[in-house]
Amino acid sequence: MTMTFPPGFLWGAATAAYQVEGAAAEDGRTPSIWDTFARTPGRVLGGDTGDTATDHYHRRREDVSLMAELGLGAYRFSVSWPRVQPTGRGPASRRGLDFYRALVDDLLARGIRPVLTLYHWDLPQELEDAGGWPERETAHRFADYAHLVGEALGDRVGLWTTLNEPWCSAFLGYASGVHAPGRTDDAAALRAAHHLNLAHGLGAQALRAVVPAGARLSVALNPGAVRARTPSPGDVDAQRRIDALSTRIFTEPMLRGTYPADLLADTAAITDWSFVLDGDMDVIKHPLDALGINYYAPSVVSAATDNRPVRADGHGGERSPWPGAGGVAFHRPPGKQTAMDWSVDPTGLYDLLMRFTREAPGLPLIVTENGAAYDDKPGADGTVHDPERIAYLHAHLEAVLRALTDGADVRGYFLWSLLDNFEWAYGYSKRFGAVYVDYATQARTPKSSAHWYARLMRTGQLPPR
């Protein structure tokens, strides 16, 4: 197997607005659902919030210089909706858009391609107060927001992503409630999933109308690499149910314009899906130029007699994020785990790349997120050694090469994350960055993985292990 990535392969790193920007109340930005959630006692570990985060809003130039020094070919970032359209409606905030204009200009000046995600979980609080994603209106508001950002940056951004991981928005946000807005209503979560799909389609239409013809549109999903614990019919059926709720609920509408029949049957006691209106599926099936795949770890499931909201990592809280899945148990796979308690298993990434090569022939794939959290600490000399992260990245990039060899059209890879940052309900306790952030001083120190990744980006050559 070749250890060399194809010429033109896009190398990058990713972040998201609420996780890195800070400046939560500056220049007209209003609260998003994550500001509200993080300020609610007990929701985020240690009471952490994104108020300051990694202060990227003020350290933009320094961070872009760091990216250039590392040799990033592309930077995947998200736009904060409440920063550019503070009420979620109406005209754009000039000051909000100016930040992203400056960021994109700085990136282009250093030869780094901007890859822009419109929605990475920070819904303006006003839209949640009006009902949030369970309301159809939110999808229309998203299309207006997409239009505003497309109009402002369409001339300079070549690759656009509508939504990041809509599964998390719908099911962690509205079913288990471990993410903002913290609601626990299964019917609302299924409505949210449909309205996120609709927002994707309407947003793609709105972008297409304003960005140049050459701009590429994508979505970043976190499809499940779900395995049955045993080949028994019960475990295989558990796998099918979780696959429907984690993956096919988004990919079937987006790629084929239908909801899977088994999903509708599994959830029939919760909803009749009458919120799906005539014409919605055609909108959702808007042509894509690339499919973004975010991958961290596989899940192992079995049939269970109760509906335990087990982690390991079915991402449960007090309640399960799997409406209609019935009794499914999640199991910790054997082998190494990261600091998230997620298993290290690159075969899940290979399987997903091959699955979408089969299911979406001709659609280019991009690994839009992949990475691992470890308990990194600076040594006495101030350097940060993270050999476990290098091993994780190496193994997953080997899986990408294997998929390329086997015919997958993988166009790029984005390490999650450029910087240590606010890891949602875990606050700052989990470090995913290739660059260490000292939150007391905001000093950035590239970890050994950053140097390793820089060499890889420069040579396109995966070194032997």
Tell me the closest approach of the beta carbon of residue 423 to ligand IFM, in angstroms.
5
Residues contacting residue 155 through CB under 8 Å, at least 6 positions apart:
212
Considering the complex, state which of residue 50 and residue 309 has its C-beta at the smaller distance from ligand IFM.
Answer: 50
Distance (Å) of CA 149 to CA 136, 160, 197, 200, 288: 21, 10, 19, 14, 18
Which residue has its beta carbon closest to ligand IFM?
A: 16
Q: How far is the CB of 369 from ligand IFM (least distance, A)?
A: 5
Nearer to ligand IFM by C-beta: 93 or 299?
299
Which C-beta is closer to ligand IFM: that of 241 or that of 431?
431
Looking at the chain, how many residues does it have? 465
Site residues, ligand IFM (CB under 6 A): 16, 19, 165, 294, 369, 416, 423, 432
How many whole angstroms separate alpha carbon 97 and alpha carbon 80? 10
**Least distance in angstroms from the C-beta of 231 to ligand IFM:** 30
User: Distance (Å, rounded) from C-alpha 45 to C-alpha 118?
Assistant: 26
Question: Who's near 332: CB < 8 A, 6+ residues apart?
Answer: 300, 312, 341, 343
Give SS3 for 102: helix
Q: Catalytic pick from 21, 128, 135, 369?
A: 369
In the complex with ligand IFM, which residue's Cβ is closer, 35 or 423?
A: 423
Query: Which CB sits closer to ligand IFM, 93 or 164?
Result: 164
| Long-range contacts, stretch 277-282, CB < 8 angstroms, 24+ apart | 277/136, 280/194, 280/197, 280/198, 280/201, 281/253, 281/257, 282/257
| Contact indicator for 390, 448 with CB cutoff of 8 Å | yes
Q: Which of 49, 51, 64 is nearest to 22 (CA)?
A: 51
Nearer of residues 145 and 167 to ligand IFM, judged by Cβ: 167
- Give whichever of 75 and 259 is closer to ligand IFM, judged by the CB atom: 75
The DSSP call for residue 40 is S
CA distances from 43 to 47, 134, 183, 188 (A): 7, 21, 12, 20
Straight-line distance from the first to the last Cα atom of the chain, in angstroms, rounded to the nearest whole number: 14
Complex with ligand IFM: residue 178 or 404, whichever CB lies closer: 178
Concerning whether 165 is annotated as a catalytic residue, the answer is yes
Answer whether 434's CB lies under 8 Å from 35's CB.
no
Neighbouring C-beta atoms of residue 53, cutoff 10 Å? 26
151 flagged as catalytic: no
Are residues 199 and 127 in contact, defined by beta-carbon separation less than 8 angstroms? no
| DSSP, res 179 | S
Beta carbon of residue 90, minimum distance to ligand IFM (angstroms, whole number): 28
Closest contact distance (angstroms) between CB of 138 and ligand IFM is 20
Minimum distance between the CB of residue 438 and ligand IFM, rounded to whole angstroms? Answer: 19
Q: How far is the CB of 134 from ligand IFM (least distance, A)?
A: 22
Other Cβ atoms closer than 10 A to 232: 12
165, 252, 388, 423: the catalytic one is: 165
Amino acid at 165: E
Closest distance of CB 431 from ligand IFM, Å: 11
| Residues with active-site annotation | 165, 369
